[in-house]
Structure 1
Amino acid sequence: MKSVFNRRDFLTAGAALAGSLMMPTAFAATRERVRIGMIGTGMRGQVLLQELLRRDDVEVVALCDIEPIMLGRALKQVEKSGKAKPKTFGEDRDPQAYKRMLDAGTLDGVIIATPWEWHAQMAIAAMQAKVPVGCEVVAGVTLQDHWDVLNTQLKTGTPYMLLENVCFRRDVMAVLQMVRSGLFGELIHLQGGYQHDLRAVKFNSGDPAKPYGGGVEFGAKGWSEAKWRTEHSVQRNGELYPSHGIGPCAMYTNINRGNRFTRINSFATKARGLHDYIVKQPGGAASPNAKTQFKLGDVVTTTLACENGETILLQHDTSLPRPYSLGFRVQGTDGLWMDVNNSIHIEGKSKPHQWEDFQAYQDKYDHPLWRKHAKDAEGAGHGGMDFFVIQSFIEALKARAPMPIDIYDAVTWSAITPLSEQSIAQNFQTLDFPDFTAGAWKTRKPIFAL
């Protein structure tokens, strides 16, 4: 597939998401092709790799993974695409193999798609090596991780983008158009979250051919995400995955660009869902894992206060049976949109006290990038969102333009996790939210400018 954005499209179509961090002079010249490496070729990495391989302006020159099965699958993807075989790192299972890849001096950018606990240290190593970073969510685990990632970016000037794909969801981008046009009036309250039954992701049989469900193993005996993600539910209690919900809400409210989070608190329910799932599986009650004490509350509710007077509510709900939903709600003085029932109500346009179907509004306010490139995004992961998130990273690299979801966005959105953990641990205390921009939020310009 040819590169479907040209530089003018990217910088002027509204989805350039222009941030205010300027590229250092070392990245001053434009280029037609970029050489990309990938750290982490698991299930998520393979989805992103497919998007990279579709492009004729990307050379995938290096892959790193310490799991031979996943590295082998990624190499088969490359072979099937007809592209040149990349250099590989990690076959020796050395956890530091990624550093050898970064030190090779052949990369124009790197995608990090590893377990969460590796993101901060890998991004820091890449930025120190002057390799621009596209990092899967989250940016870090501890609050100190976030300060370290931020300070490294500021010190090195190396571009960093958080690969939050929900910011590119079609309805989310249409609602952004509506917000910018004033359809909802002045924004008052927003909601979002990660409400997704992950029980069959957190447990499996350990069989590499069956990464989802089929057993109650996790940790050393699990496979794929069950090998690492479930342990976070054992050890941690908080809003563990905030960016899918907070990313769009932060864009709507211009967080870090004329607005900021000021206060945060979190509440967690009791933890029952994961244990209940284990004992209901065949043989699960007799499994040693049935004795595991899970710390993560089944539903974690986090509230954020904003400088400009809005409130934002997030919910993390991954341990109970439920259909998938991010639970978006955007409410202002003139009406509101909710994604759960795909509906909208605008005062003076909708019938009093009645919902309207959202589709007509989405068609009217459909973002220019979706209007132009919906066909190109067909078949891409997550309903096309993965096409746009990779596209935005690659085009920013080529144009030496500011990263669309930049370092301030990354650490602000992701730091909700350790702050929520702290709030819950301190008896649901309300905490001050750190200003990662050191006051720059007052003068930075909104992203997705129309």
Structure 2
Amino acid sequence: MRKLRIGIAGTSRGSHFYEDFSKVKNAEVLAVMDPDEKSLESFCQKYPINHAVTDYNDLLDTGIDAVVIASPIQFHAQQAILALQRDIHVLSEVTAASSIDECHSLLNAAKMSKAQYMLAENYCYIRENIAIQNMVKAGVFGQIYFAEGEYLHNVTYLHYDDEGKPTWRRKETMSKRGCTYGTHSLGPPLTWFGERVKYVNCIGPGAHTMPEYENDDTTIMLCRTESGLLINIRLDMVSNRPHNMGYYSLQGTKGCYEAPRIPGEEHKIWLKDYAESSESWMNLKDVYDEFLPRELINFPQEAEGSHHWGADYFMVKDFVDCIRENQPVKIDIYKALEFTLPGLLSEDSIVAGGKPVEVPDVRTW
């Protein structure tokens, strides 16, 4: 079987995807697209590429089997739909869509297509998050009922270009209130719980660090699942503080998990059936042998240096393997929308003073 032929839309994040796909033996990047000719030229000077185009439809005409959508958020849904309509597989950056209407259209396109859609929620491929997922399945936390996810990342330097014009990040993530970029924090807990969010409550303290912004300095999104489990999501992309883009916690009847809040700290667990006492924390690494496959314990060379703690490589490899083997992708269209919809509905909740807003079940659409 020949290699999976990949096209990439967007050169900024696309460069990382190029590097990871190039490490996967059964894939090759055939084409790249960017409307900015200078960015496209810079990409081609750095990476060998067969086709470089400025129009997205031209990218789809290059004979690719799958497209990576690394474009700005406002293009994710429409570009995915165009690819799916031509039976081209999709790996889309987060979030999946920017509106409820786009979610409907994207789902319809995925249902009608012979190709697969996968959301590139790389945080679900982080080693520690996979370990926790496997531990949940094994029941070592008992009945789980509460989780947290936080994404604290000051990116105000990316909100305006060199000419002082607002970028898509300023327009799409900071021009409205709500949890506008929450899938990194929400995806792993939803994967652990194995159910969707049914209600969201969203509140914020207002804009203080950047008073001219519409989005709050910090946004809190409380998510209640179908069975009443609780997930607390915090999003903050402006506060003056060190980054912490991967904090999670999990609580169950027989144990808990705490990710580091400060660089240099370790991932910690307490498990009733493992711990020496009620106050004895364990290092998550101590149970890797029991709950992780070998390649996630001792990274292969290809994963070393891959972004997001090696997760990007494992995500790309999994996508390629699923498509080539005709197996369902891990984060399909339904999970993609279940990760995305709570953030979209949080925009309604926060302007209504934090009132609960019901999240529709996309599997009934």
Q: The TM-score by the shorter chain falls in which range?
A: over 0.9
CA distance in 1, matches of 2:129, 2:364: 29
CA distance in 2, matches of 1:370, 1:357: 16
Instruction: Give matches, 1:310-325, under 5 Å.
Output: 310-325=229-244
2:341, 2:359 within 8 Å by CA — same for their partners in 1? Answer: no
How many angstroms does 1:157 deviate by?
3.7
Q: What SS does the corresponding residue of 1:329 show, helix, strand or coil? A: strand
Q: Structure 2, unaligned stretches of length 5 or more?
A: 262-266
1:404/1:77 CA distance change after superposition, 3 Å: farther
Of residues 256, 261, 266 in structure 2, which corresponds to 1:336? Answer: 256
Give the structure with the larger strand fraction: 2
1:302/1:121 CA distance change after superposition, 3 Å: same
CA distance in 1, matches of 2:143, 2:46: 48
1:397/1:335 CA distance change after superposition, 3 Å: same
1:274/1:187 CA distance change after superposition, 3 Å: same
Q: What SS does the corresponding residue of 1:313 show, helix, strand or coil? A: strand
Paired position in structure 2 for 1:432: 358
1:171, 1:362 within 8 Å by CA — same for their partners in 2? Answer: no
Is residue 128 from structure 1 mapped to residue 85 from structure 2 by the alignment?
A: yes
Of residues 45, 67, 87 in structure 1, which corresponds to 2:51? Answer: 87
Paired position in structure 1 for 2:24: 55
Instruction: Give matches, 1:20-59, under 5 Å.
Output: 31-42=1-12, 44-59=13-28
Larger radius of gyration: 1
CA distance in 1, matches of 2:222, 2:331: 22
1:37, 1:62 within 8 Å by CA — same for their partners in 2? Answer: yes
How many angstroms does 1:203 deviate by?
4.7
2:173, 2:181 within 8 Å by CA — same for their partners in 1? Answer: no
CA distance in 2, matches of 1:158, 1:123: 11
Paired position in structure 2 for 1:389: 315
CA distance in 1, matches of 2:284, 2:318: 27
Identical aligned residues as a percent: 26
Instruction: Give matches, 1:9-408, under 5 Å.
Output: 31-42=1-12, 44-79=13-48, 85-90=49-54, 97-102=55-60, 104=61, 106-203=63-160, 205-206=162-163, 217-219=164-166, 227-255=167-195, 260-275=196-211, 293-325=212-244, 326-340=246-260, 342-350=267-275, 351-371=277-297, 373-408=299-334
Higher relative contact order (CA 8 A, sep 6+): 1
Deviations 1:90-112 (A, max 9, x none): 1xxxxxx101222x261110000
Q: TM-score, normalised by structure 2?
A: 0.92
2:204, 2:218 within 8 Å by CA — same for their partners in 1? Answer: yes
CA distance in 2, matches of 1:233, 1:137: 12
Q: TM-score, normalised by structure 1?
A: 0.75
Q: What SS does the corresponding residue of 1:189 show, helix, strand or coil? A: strand
Q: Structure 1, unaligned stretches of length 5 or more?
A: 1-30, 80-84, 91-96, 207-216, 220-226, 276-292, 440-450
CA distance in 2, matches of 1:334, 1:32: 48
Number of residue-to-residue matches in the alignment: 358
CA distance in 2, matches of 1:365, 1:263: 32
1:175, 1:362 within 8 Å by CA — same for their partners in 2? Answer: no
1:78/1:234 CA distance change after superposition, 3 Å: closer
Deviations 1:158-178 (A, max 9, x none): 210001111111111111121
Deviations 1:211-264 (A, max 9, x none): xxxxxx341xxxxxxx22022354211111111111111110112xxxx32211
Q: What SS does the corresponding residue of 1:415 show, helix, strand or coil? A: helix
CA distance in 2, matches of 1:123, 1:100: 14
Which amino acid letter does the alignment assign opposite residue 274 of structure 1?
Answer: M
What value does the CA root-mean-square deviation take over the aligned residues?
Answer: 1.9
- Point out the more displaced range, 363-372 or 329-338: 363-372
Which amino acid letter does the alignment assign opposite residue 110 of structure 1?
Answer: V
How many angstroms does 1:45 deviate by?
1.1
CA distance in 2, matches of 1:64, 1:105: 11
Which amino acid letter does the alignment assign opposite residue 23 of structure 2?
Answer: R
CA distance in 2, matches of 1:273, 1:354: 39
How many angstroms does 1:75 deviate by?
1.2
Q: What SS does the corresponding residue of 2:239 show, helix, strand or coil? A: coil
Q: What SS does the corresponding residue of 1:274 show, helix, strand or coil? A: coil
1:261/1:243 CA distance change after superposition, 3 Å: same
2:288, 2:297 within 8 Å by CA — same for their partners in 1? Answer: no
How many angstroms does 1:204 deviate by?
6.0
1:50, 1:77 within 8 Å by CA — same for their partners in 2? Answer: no
Q: What SS does the corresponding residue of 1:48 show, helix, strand or coil? A: helix
